[in-house]
Amino acid sequence: MRITVVQMNPGAEKSANIVQAERLIGQAVREDHPEFLALPEMWTCLGGDRATKFREAEILPPPGTNGAGGEAYEFLRRMARSHRVYLHGGSLAELAGEKLFNTTVVFNPEGQEIARYRKLHLFDIVGPDGTGYRESNTYASGDTIVTCDVGGIRVGLAICYDLRFPELFFALRRAGAELIVLPSAFTLQTGKDHWEVLLRARAIETQCWFAAPATWGRHFERGEARYTFGHSLICDPWGMVVAQASDGVGWASARLDPARTERVRADMPMLAARPVFDRKLL
């Protein structure tokens, strides 16, 4: 399977972000011919104030109904169907009462939703420069791990800050994941030090492919400039980076080889050894 991770520089205006996403998806399909594409975290509305985030959020149709959704949801459905690809919608803001969910939706080539995941771990931290981030002020956390089938490959879903919690990825591996897709809006400061090393570590630990589409560049949060790191990448189950985007908008593509996964897992059967290790800890 050929997969593409799309790197965007979104702002707070959903309609402008959709124009950018449509252009990049179209170019990537024409030039790289992927079967599976993935967008970054919160590509529909990155930044703005609380009111902006709620205004640009969407009510999603009930899971499994394939009912009508909002502007971004229907855009993703149309892109999947028109290009005949599986499309991982990065994440968007889902309206849910007094708070939002940071939510992933995945579509098959017929434009049907096949998976939905709400971000488990919320980004409540203080960065190295003293900048505070409090995702829980606006968002609620999900409570379910999610996998889905994409062209015969079992795909695990996670979002950005989830990357720092390895237990989630072991659970996805136990659920059969061969590829994990992690859309992100990693800050510039944390990204330059931790982005690649954490992705490669999670890939090595779980013996899964990782596809990590990310936002890049400047956006504004309540009038204050914020910067995200970009460097969207794909790495294999041995932790080797096989494709990576540079600075700026664009994409990176690679071919996922299931035989590579089988060899890595057969030569080093880590999952089989984990129950023994876990019993020793208890």
User: Dihedral of CA 13/18/23/25: which sign?
Assistant: positive
Q: Which residues contact 190 (CB under 8 A, 6 or more apart)?
A: 127, 128, 229
Q: Which residues contact 201 (CB under 8 A, 6 or more apart)?
A: 166, 239
Active-site residue, 53 included: no
How many whole angstroms separate alpha carbon 143 and alpha carbon 149? 20
B/e letters for 28-38, b = 16+ CB within 10 Å, e = fewer, are bbeebebbbbb
Q: Could you say which of 14, 94, 113, 119 is catalytic?
A: 119
Per annotation, catalytic residue among 14, 45, 53, 160 = 160
The question of whether 41 is a catalytic residue gets the answer yes
Residue type, position 100, single letter: L
Answer for the pair 220, 226: CB distance below 8 angstroms, yes or no: yes
Tokens of 61: 């149709």
Of the residues 14, 35, 41, 56, only one is catalytic, namely 41
CB 34 within 8 A of CB 19: no
Residues involved in catalysis: 41, 119, 160
